[in-house]
Amino acid sequence: MTTFASAGPPEVQPGGTSRPAGEPRDYPRAVTQRTSEYWLALGGSLLGSLGLVWLLYEEILPFSGTVGFMICWFVAYLVVFAVVTATAHPLPIVLDRMWTALITGAACIVGLALVSTVVYIVYRGWPAVHHLNFFTQSEDSGSLTGPLTQGGVLNAIAGSLLELGIATAVSLPLGIGTAIYMVEVGGRFSRVVKTVVEAMTALPDILAGLFIYTFLILLVGFQRSGFAAAMALSVMMLPIIARSADVQLRVVPGGLREASLALGSTQWRTVWRVVIPTQRAGLATAVILGMARAVGETAPVLITSGFSTFMNVSVLNNPMNSLPLAIFTAVRSPDQLFIERGFGTGIVLLAIVLILFGTGRFLSRTKVARR
């Protein structure tokens, strides 16, 4: 004899759920993988190891300072937790808990390093930044080592934006054009181009600067200027943008291109009106992230554009200051106020990078939401 699941066929309730008449609603139960024993062992180990290290620290163990204390405490916690777990559980569980602690600890260290970098820069640079003149004047309005109420980094901001603009104007069309060539046209020659472009992404930033210095400045005769710095930046940006754009364009399914060609379109129109718009957000993100990286590059501009204190918008003549360069010069000096200016400039640079980064992220997120 078979059994029914309930006394009779279930009734269909309004709303689509079917429930045997007369029984109360059921609710999900809380299911955890962590037992109470786990949390007790964890808490107990933390406290126990803390006490242990506290007692032994300065006296018996050969370390000193807060950092050493934290390290000792962490190691002691691992040992105590391992021993406590081993009394009740087999080896795989002991190992699992140990590695969980280590992995979480490592992630915390990295997170802490990142946070402390940002916080420290802001903290040290704050005295300089909350004067309005920092943003509206250039360094020549006050002395570099003078009080913070005079002078500012306007020239550096202008320099950075100019150099970035020129570099992007050069490397964007060339980079995306190369990517289009590699993906849409293809062929043996394009594979050569691809290999060389990949190799160039490995170029250390200082060599980009040195190449432009030797080639443009010494051989061709340009001055050390903003233009030269922009060229060095574009040498750096070009392979990166080309490679990211290449990845983005390859993601577009071949079916899309075929559909366009089947309608009678030319290849150029297919690329311009179908392929690129499909990946518009991805390409924009790639370019913006390339820009974010370029604006913070110090080594190339160090060599190709000189340091200056006055506002200079003439790109081809005279040294042009930029944010990373200003920071570099400032923090290397022995003067305290100058160093503070340097940190303040660091906040400005960080803010620009964060804005670019956030914009890039926002663009790629919008794309996902639209799908």
Partner 1 sequence: MTEGEIVTSVSAPVFDAAETRALAASPTGAHLDADRVSAWFGANKVLERVSLSMPPGTVTALIGPSGCGKSTFLRILNRMHELVPSAKLAGEVRLNGQDIYASGQPITLTRKRIGMVFQKPNPFPAMTIGENVAAGLRLTGIRVGRREREALTEDCLVRAGLWGEVKDRLHHLGGSLSGGQQQRLCIARSLAVQPDVLLMDEPCSALDPTSTRRIEETIAMLRDQVTIVIVTHNMQQAARVSQQCAFFLAEQGTPGQVVESGATKDIFERPRDPRTSDYVHGRFG
Partner 2 sequence: MTTLIDLRPPGSAPEPEDTPRAIRKSLSIPDHLFRWGSTGIGAVVLAVTGAIGIFLGYQMVPTLRHYGLHFFTENQWNPQLNILGIAQVLVGTVEVALIALAFAFPLALLTALYISEYAPAWLRAFLVSMVDLMAAIPSILYGMWGYFLIMPHALYLSRWLNEYLGWLPFFHVVNGKPRAPVFNQSAYDSSPFIAGMIVSMMVIPLACAVMLGVFRQAPLSEREGAYALGSTRWGMIRAVVLPFGRGGIVGGTMLALGRALGETIAVLLILSVNTDLKFRPLENGGVTTAQLIANYFGEATSGQLSALLAAGFVLFAMTIVVNTIAAIIVNRGRSNALTEI
Instruction: Name residues whose C-beta falls within 8 Å of residue 227's C-beta, 6 or more positions apart in sequence.
Output: 166, 315, 316
Q: Which of helix, strand or coil describes residue 321?
A: coil
Q: Which is nearer to partner 2, 78 or 193 (CB)?
A: 193
From the number of C-beta atoms within 10 Å of its C-beta (0-12, 13-18, 19+), residue 101 rates as: middle
- Min dist CB 89 to partner 1, Å, is 8
Q: What Rg do the C-alpha atoms of the chain give, in angstroms?
A: 30
- Exactly one of 7, 112, 114, 259 binds partner 2 (CB under 8 A); that residue is 114
Q: Of 236, 250, 235, give the one whose Cα is nearest residue 283.
A: 250
Between the alpha carbon of residue 229 and those of residues 164, 201, 213, the distances in Å are 9, 18, 9
Q: Which is nearer to partner 1, 27 or 334 (CB)?
A: 27
Task: Please choose which of partner 2, partner 1, none residue 343 contacts, taking the beta carbon within 5 to 8 angstroms, the exact cut-off set by kind.
Answer: partner 2
Task: Please choose which of partner 2, partner 1, none residue 32 contacts, taking the beta carbon within 5 to 8 angstroms, the exact cut-off set by kind.
Answer: partner 1
- Min dist CB 304 to partner 2, Å, is 10
- Min dist CB 67 to partner 2, Å, is 6
Interactions with partner 1, residue window 16-55 (CB under 8 A): 16-20, 23, 26-29, 31-33, 35-37
Binding flags for partner 2, 122-161, as an x/- string (CB under 8 A): --x-------------------------------------
Q: Which of helix, strand or coil describes residue 180?
A: helix
CA 220 to chain centre: 36
Q: Of 110, 157, 98, 87, give the one whose Cα is nearest residue 326.
A: 157
Interactions with partner 1, residue window 73-92 (CB under 8 A): 89-92
* Strand partners for 11: 19
Q: Would you count residue 30 as binding partner 2 (CB under 8 A)?
A: no
Task: Please choose which of partner 2, partner 1, none residue 180 contacts, taking the beta carbon within 5 to 8 angstroms, the exact cut-off set by kind.
Answer: partner 2
What residue ranges bind partner 1 (CB under 8 A)?
A: 1-6, 9-10, 12, 16-20, 23, 26-29, 31-33, 35-37, 89-93
